[in-house]
Structure 1
């Protein structure tokens, strides 16, 4: 069986593609169930964020094509389109990739902490739906330990910078004084919570939180001294908003061009700054064509993010060393487990042969046969049975000039301390 990591991310695909491949929360259960039931898949977990969609599977050696075909069918995309932007890693490389992702080294914002929580959510969901077996279970647990070590032993997590921070930083370049600005935040998840806290720390005049669930909006608004509204109240709130930042799990846009046009008329065309962090997008791309609207997607935050990347590169190099050690440790444990399974099967085979010979000898004794002859016959038969398989394989290896097998067999099967026939 092969460990496979297959996916797309912000480095390989534009937001237009990523939003087509992303799994909404309502799709994850059915997607994971379908993936797990593919003939070549033994274990599976799905990670889907605004910047990446990744599948982690234990599969047959040729399972990658089957999984890629399934991903295309699920989202109604041509496999050729996915192939152009998808990446895949096998075994050691797959383990290393997951550890790098969990440590924030593969994120758009180097070292951002949110991704580890998202991986833990993906792990818990896969576990609850029985998508995990021993291989992925151990990999995720090992990954969490390595990510924790990276956070505690390097400076990768100091002064946390996220996509949320980058969005607020970009807004500050347009609105020099936040104390005169009003912000409308759409969504109430972790990213919007971070945006709200950054805006509050920057001295924003007014914060409005719009969410499908009023209870969650009220909870976040209460924490940051803002006001909570429902999604139905957005058109009115939009008329007062200088800054709009959206991040929901909605499969369809929440803000359309017409709604924003009407708000701009009421505002007498005072400029609006908008950042759409969501994938799929919450704001129709056509909104960006309107005068007096500055619309950015998560991909447009790259300049702010690159500045952060430069500051954290030293810590990232230290983190890469810890991950290399983590992968080495994971590989060692995996090899030990593999040998353990082989030893168990070999012992079971030997025990089956011993039991069969023992039952035969007991039956012979019960018939009154000479005990000495029975014992001699028993040891001879047992020796022949135990040596038959290895002897046959060694002859085949010798005929095929597989000297590596011959040398390995000599190391495994012969006791150097045992006396040879020549020494007698």
Structure 2
């Protein structure tokens, strides 16, 4: 394995909510069903040995191991895959190499890089990215081990710090924003579009806020019915959205659709039916579910995932102390992983030692047999074999230890003491 993965680089390349606007993030997002094909293309590039893609509403990131000189290929591939000309992404992209890449994925999985500091959903998204890459067979030992270590680090941070003591998700934050915008949720009808984890969490928070009525719209009616039943709501198919949209005072949408579900004409028609009573629309999907020009309509208040920041900043202080503890744990684990990573580029000393010992054994054994063939006593041949083999095996270590003693190399002398101090119960 060491020879196969020697002299490679680990890189993390991407953009997120801090470096790029939602319009660009949705442009380069990868749908789950399209990710395997994208991974096949990325990993087939010359010099790219492994690849994984993490794509969420807040980030798109490529994790790769590459040969020297191939570090720029993932970024070039990202441009080409999304048909972006020139260097359109360059000012928004970040790239982390080796230890910085390890630190970055640890921070991502623990929620330290999230829009909501410490939010728990990101770990599940990282696990999904790992499973897709694994199923696509674009992971080998180094990147696979990095993801396994990432999961362990995230679990340790959750258990050893209070960063997860008060879980705050994008869904929770969206509901907090709605509570600010709408004076009394007990008089509001909320339309939820989607039935995934984010919408499910949103529905639960709304139920706790005692919203008057909840409508759940989803492409698969059965999924909408299951979620609606859990919160005492009403389920509709996505095709029935135009008929029920006028009922909604608040719309919260989070689907995996590649094109907008609500457009300007549809919302305008709903407003006319409502006699222009205001509608509050919260779009927490990337790509966006609600066309941006909907915001130009009178009596419409449209918010995207990037607008949640003001709500999020309020709860930031309570988690900053826990974040510092998490940083310390992460730094320790980065060192451990990089120690393993550097060892990949070293020759295996056990193999070298065994090959050398076996060569000495064969040489001395042949000479001992020659003594017996010339009629020398067996005891003499055995004594020759034992003495000569011992001298040959100990010559290089003895010379190196003498040299270490003369130059005061305490580290080597201490290591040798540990190495040759075999446990008393060792058995063959």
- The normalised TM-score by structure 2 is 0.83
Match of 2:423 in 1: none
Deviation at 1:337, TM superposition (A): 5.1
The equivalent position to 2:286 in structure 1, one of 273, 279, 289, is 279
Corresponding position: 1:243 with 2:250: yes
| Gap change, CA 1:370 and 1:256, over 3 Å in 2 | farther
| Gap change, CA 1:240 and 1:333, over 3 Å in 2 | same
SS in 1 for 2:87: helix
How far does the alpha carbon of each residue in 1:339-387 deviate from its partner, in whole angstroms, 9 at most, with x for none? 4x4325635764796699799x69x97xx99999xx99xx9xxx9xx99
Asked if the contact 1:69/1:79 (under 8 Å) is kept, the reply is: no
The equivalent position to 1:24 in structure 2, one of 25, 28, 31, is 31
- Which structure is higher in helix share? 1
Q: Which runs of 5+ in 2 are unaligned?
A: 1-7, 397-406, 418-428
How far does the alpha carbon of each residue in 1:293-347 deviate from its partner, in whole angstroms, 9 at most, with x for none? 00011001110111121221111111111111121222233345554x4325635
What is the aligned-residue RMSD (CA, Å)?
Answer: 3.3
Asked if the contact 1:72/1:82 (under 8 Å) is kept, the reply is: yes
Out of 113-122 and 80-89, give the one that drifted further. Answer: 80-89
| Gap change, CA 1:355 and 1:220, over 3 Å in 2 | farther
| Gap change, CA 1:37 and 1:350, over 3 Å in 2 | farther
Deviation at 1:62, TM superposition (A): 2.5
**How many angstroms apart in 2 are the aligned matches of 1:78 and 1:270?**
44
**How many angstroms apart in 2 are the aligned matches of 1:46 and 1:370?**
72
Q: Which runs of 5+ in 1 are unaligned?
A: 388-405, 417-424
**How many angstroms apart in 2 are the aligned matches of 1:138 and 1:97?**
15
The equivalent position to 1:136 in structure 2, one of 135, 143, 157, is 143
**How many angstroms apart in 1 are the aligned matches of 2:18 and 2:375?**
79
Match of 1:346 in 2: 352
Deviation at 1:29, TM superposition (A): 1.0
Match of 2:133 in 1: 126
Match of 1:391 in 2: none
| Gap change, CA 1:355 and 1:222, over 3 Å in 2 | farther
**How many angstroms apart in 2 are the aligned matches of 1:344 and 1:21?**
47
Question: 1:234-273 alignment to 2 at 5 Å?
Answer: 234-273=241-280
The equivalent position to 1:290 in structure 2, one of 287, 297, 300, is 297
How far does the alpha carbon of each residue in 1:119-162 deviate from its partner, in whole angstroms, 9 at most, with x for none? 01111111111121111121111111111111111111122111
Match of 2:425 in 1: none
Match of 1:393 in 2: none
Deviation at 1:30, TM superposition (A): 0.3
Match of 1:419 in 2: none
**How many angstroms apart in 2 are the aligned matches of 1:370 and 1:254?**
96
Corresponding position: 1:98 with 2:88: no
**How many angstroms apart in 2 are the aligned matches of 1:4 and 1:370?**
67
**How many angstroms apart in 2 are the aligned matches of 1:78 and 1:347?**
54
For this pair of structures, how many residues does the alignment match?
Answer: 392
| Gap change, CA 1:322 and 1:355, over 3 Å in 2 | same
SS in 2 for 1:84: coil
Match of 1:211 in 2: 218
| Gap change, CA 1:358 and 1:3, over 3 Å in 2 | farther
**How many angstroms apart in 2 are the aligned matches of 1:358 and 1:47?**
58
Match of 1:187 in 2: 194
Question: 1:411-422 alignment to 2 at 5 Å?
Answer: none
**How many angstroms apart in 2 are the aligned matches of 1:369 and 1:124?**
67
**How many angstroms apart in 2 are the aligned matches of 1:44 and 1:181?**
46
Match of 2:54 in 1: 47
List, as ranges, runs of 4+ consecutive aligned residues in structure 1 with deviation greater than 6 Å. Answer: 351-359, 368-372
Match of 1:169 in 2: 176
Asked if the contact 1:188/1:211 (under 8 Å) is kept, the reply is: yes
SS in 2 for 1:56: strand
SS in 2 for 1:64: coil
Out of 269-278 and 133-142, give the one that drifted further. Answer: 133-142
Out of 115-124 and 208-217, give the one that drifted further. Answer: 208-217
**How many angstroms apart in 2 are the aligned matches of 1:302 and 1:234?**
29
- The normalised TM-score by structure 1 is 0.83
